[in-house]
Chains A and B, each alone.
Chain A
Amino acid sequence: MDEALVRSLTPSVLGILVRRGADFAAAEDAVQDALVEAVRTWPADPPRDPKGWLVAVAWRRFLDATRADTARRRREDSLDGEPAPGPAPGVDDTLQLYFLCAHPSLTPSSAVALTLRAVGGLTTGQIARAYLVPEATMAQRISRAKRTVSGVRFDRPGDVATVLRVLYLVFNEGYSGDVDLAAEAIRLTRQLAAAIDHPEPAGLLALMLLHHARRAARTAPDGSLVPLAEQDRGRWDTGAIAEGVAILQAALARDRLGEFQAQAAIAALHADAPTAEETDWVQVVEWYDELVRLTGSPVVRLNRAVAVGEADGPRAGLAALAALDDSLPRYAAVAAHLHERDGDLATAARLYVEAAHKAPNLAERAHLTRQAARLNGRSGR
């Protein structure tokens, strides 16, 4: 059985059931039942129309479950009044699921889990392994999320920004199961960008592709982090970069700038430079100015200070930094880098140590500790 095919069909099958009037939680259960049935019977008896097969079986399961529940008699009556299902563009049904799974009533982790399950077609076990939690925990998270959105009707388009934030969260998660969450986020964002007439999903897709293109060069064979300036650019995926840049240019041409397009533009400027030294830092700063305007985010201002340091020299970078709150994540790391470039090695070493203590992950801590060790003159000797 073609697992990728089944996974790609799952959301539209679910979407069709929900559009026919099925309650989301009940529809999800019915689709899971149909998938189990498919695993059992397809190898011996493959259907000619897999999607039609899944819809038919899932719908029957849903009706059976609804009928079995006598307390829901009234709902059953109202279902009989629903129009007969006809062919519908599958993509619209899937789109509704994106909005439902990113519903504002869900917490971020619930929205992510539900999206991976309902839109991505992943199993609960796969999602649990990716997030390093027990399967029972993830099952509870998903069933609570299903209950939360169970009464929500699909009558108005949701907030695209919320959907994009959920996909961005998926992309930014480290992965540890048998599913590559970054690749999964790209697949889902690609689907969304094709289905929705808005430049920001395209901007997010471009951003993901541009970062994913550098993935092989981001870590050394021993797992340690390789900073952007030291990456072997020959290992970047030029196909993904070209695709990301093309998608970004088409999005920018529509003249409705959003934060993901601006972030993608910065990523594209890095990807475009043949060497780190040839990076167009002046343009990078200009895009950060746009991002500050769009988001007002202190983290963006911090990144902007790094770019200013490259474009106008470390003193200018330190001046930009001085206006920011030193409790920001990675503030000490940025300050250390700028002081080192300014020649104040003692201050830089002290700040690298401070940054290492505050690092949010082991790879970063090790990297920052090595920076401090290098300045303290003991590295490699």
Chain B
Amino acid sequence: MAKYLLLKHYRGAPAAVNDVPMEQWTPEEVSAHVRYMREFAARLEATGEFVDGQALAPEGTFVRYDGEGRPPVTDGPFAETKDLIAGWMVIDVDSYERAVELAGELSAAPGAGGKPIHEWLELRPFYAAPPTITE
């Protein structure tokens, strides 16, 4: 009963083992990949472990407060940004071990040649509510 965020990166994560950019896959390979992701989410819904998930567009803007009465400052997008998040999924599982197991499965999504991408996924625990008993 702990929530984890699975982060999928466009870039910033270490290179995947099967590291072929998606635009160089065949259309069938792309479809297979998308289907795998969808089925993975559906499976987690069925096990009662799915909380939420979304894909993110690569374009982002940085926004900053610029003082009283002035509009916020915006900047970017920064093409040189090292880390770009492609999407995320939140799961609610019984243990860290289970979270790692699921992230491993997600990382096995098929890519070029129908082989698993072996991409790196970032796994981050959510802060929990303070327990009723601490002392």
Q: Is B86 an interface residue (CB 8 A)?
A: no
Interface residues of B in 89-118 (CB under 8 A from A): 92-94
Task: Decide if A270 is an interface residue (CB 8 Å cutoff).
Answer: yes
Q: Which stretch from A54-62, A82-90, A339-347, A361-369 is at the chain B interface?
A: A361-369
Smallest distance from the beta carbon of B4 to chain A beta carbons, Å? 13
A254 to B45, CA, bound (A): 47
Chain A proximity mask over B15-54: 1 for CB below 8 Å, otherwise 0: 0000000000000000000000000000001111111100
A182 near B132: Cβ-Cβ < 8 Å: yes
Q: Quick check: B51 and A134 within 8 Å, CB to CB? A: yes
A351 to B121, CA, bound (A): 30
Known: A109-B94, A137-B49. A365 touches B127 (CB 8 A): yes
Bitwise, A117-134 to B at CB < 8 A (1) or not (0) is: 000000000000001111
Known pairs A174-B130, A228-B135; A108 contacts B48 (CB<8 A):
no
A 81-122 contacts with B by CB, 8 A = 107-110, 112-113
Q: At the interface, yes or no: B79 with Cβ under 8 Å from chain A?
A: no
The residue that A361 contacts in the complex, of B92, B94, B129, with Cβ under 8 A, is B129
Cβ of B69: which chain A residues have Cβ within 8 Å of it? none
- Tell me if A176 counts as interface (CB < 8 A to partner B): yes
Q: Specify which of B3, B48, B128, B135 is in contact with A138 (CB 8 Å cutoff).
A: B48
B46–A140 touching, CB < 8 Å: yes
Whether B132 lies near A131 (C-beta < 8 A) is: no
Q: Are A109 and B135 in contact (CB under 8 A)?
A: no
B73 within 8 A of A: no
Closest residue to A211 on the B side, CB-wise?
Answer: B133
- Measured in the bound complex, the distance between the Cα atoms of B46 and A173 in whole Å is 23
Report yes or no: B1 in contact with A112, Cβ–Cβ below 8 A: yes
How many positions in chain B have a CB within 8 Å of any CB in the partner chain?
Answer: 22
Q: Which of A109, A211, A212, A227 contacts B1 (CB 8 A)?
A: A109
Say whether A361 contacts B127, CB under 8 Å: yes
- The reply to whether B1 and A140 form a contact with Cβ atoms under 8 Å apart is no
Residues on the B chain within 8 Å of A362, using CB: 127
A267 to B45, alpha carbons, bound, how many Å? 40
For the complex, is B131 an interface residue (Cβ under 8 Å from A)?
A: yes
In the complex, what residue of chain A is closest to B1 when comparing beta carbons?
Answer: A109
B135 / chain A contacts, CB cutoff of 8 Å: 227-228, 267, 270
Is A144 within 8 A of B48, CB to CB?
yes
A141 to B128, CA, bound (A): 20
User: A172 contacts which chain B residues (CB < 8 A)?
Assistant: 131-133
| B128 surroundings in chain A (CB, below 8 A) | 174, 360-361
Q: How far is the CB of B93 from chain A (nearest CB, A)?
A: 8
A residues less than 8 Å from B1 (CB atoms)? 108-109, 112, 131, 169, 173
Chain A residues in 8 Å Cβ range of B47:
140-141, 144
Q: Is A35 an interface residue (CB 8 A)?
A: no
Interface readout for A177-215 with B: 1 if CB under 8 Å, 0 if not?
000001000000000000000000000000100011001
Determine if A225 is an interface residue (Cβ-Cβ < 8 Å): yes
> When chains A and B are docked, how far (Å) is the Cα of A360 from the Cα of B3?
12
Q: Name the contact of B130 in the complex, choosing from A109, A133, A136, A361 (C-beta under 8 A).
A: A361
- B residues within 8 A CB of A109? 1, 48, 92-94
| Measured CA separation A225–B134 after assembly (Å) | 11
The distance from the CB of A311 to the nearest CB of chain B, in whole angstroms, is 16
Partner of B50, one of A134, A173, A212: A134
A360 and B127: CB pair below 8 A? yes
Closest to A182 in B: B132
CB distance from A221 to the nearest CB of B (A): 16
Contact B92 A212 (CB under 8 A): no
Contact of A137 among B92, B94, B131, B132 (CB under 8 A): B92
> Which residues of chain B have C-beta atoms less than 8 A from A270's C-beta?
135
If A132-B92, A174-B131, A360-B127 are given as contacts, then 18 extra A-B residue pairs at C-beta distance below 8 Å, sorted by A number, are: A109-B94, A113-B48, A132-B3, A134-B52, A140-B46, A144-B47, A169-B1, A171-B132, A172-B131, A172-B132, A173-B131, A228-B135, A270-B135, A361-B127, A361-B131, A363-B130, A364-B130, A365-B127
A sample of 28 cross-chain residue pairs with beta-carbon separation below 8 angstroms, ordered by A number, consists of A107-B94, A108-B1, A109-B92, A109-B93, A109-B94, A110-B48, A131-B1, A133-B51, A133-B92, A134-B50, A140-B45, A140-B46, A141-B48, A144-B46, A171-B132, A172-B132, A172-B133, A173-B1, A174-B132, A176-B129, A207-B133, A215-B132, A225-B134, A227-B135, A359-B127, A361-B127, A361-B128, A364-B130
Question: Which residues of B come within 8 Å of A, CB atoms?
Answer: 1, 3, 45-52, 92-94, 127-135
Ranked 9 nearest A-B pairs via Cβ: A174-B129, A141-B48, A140-B48, A109-B1, A363-B130, A172-B131, A228-B135, A361-B130, A362-B127
